[in-house]
Amino acid sequence: DLILGGVKIDYEKGLDGHSDADVLLHAVSGLRHREIARDLGLPLSTVLSRYSRALKKLKRCLSEEGVRL
């Protein structure tokens, strides 16, 4: 499970492993999307699209848990 801001998000409702990694690499480590793409050996467009989808899903999950964004 993922715990964000004290809210537990079940993996069944949360992000997939790849998107988790992309979000964490960018948000927590401060890596730029271009650096993440290079390090993972992926096209920049793939990293950007996965990141965008992950943020939308994360916002939806948090909203369903009653977190006001």
Token pair of 33 as six digits: 């999307």
Reported as a pLDDT band with limits 50, 70 and 90, residue 48 is very high
Reported as a pLDDT band with limits 50, 70 and 90, residue 15 is low
Mean pLDDT to the nearest integer, 3-24: 61
- Give me the half-sphere count of Cα atoms (radius 13 Å) on the Cβ side of residue 47: 20
Residue entry with tokens 């949360």 = 14
Reported as a pLDDT band with limits 50, 70 and 90, residue 45 is very high
pLDDT per residue as tens digits for the range 29-43? 888 999 989 988 999
pTM assigned to the model: 0.68
CA-to-CA distance for 33 and 8, rounded, in angstroms? 26
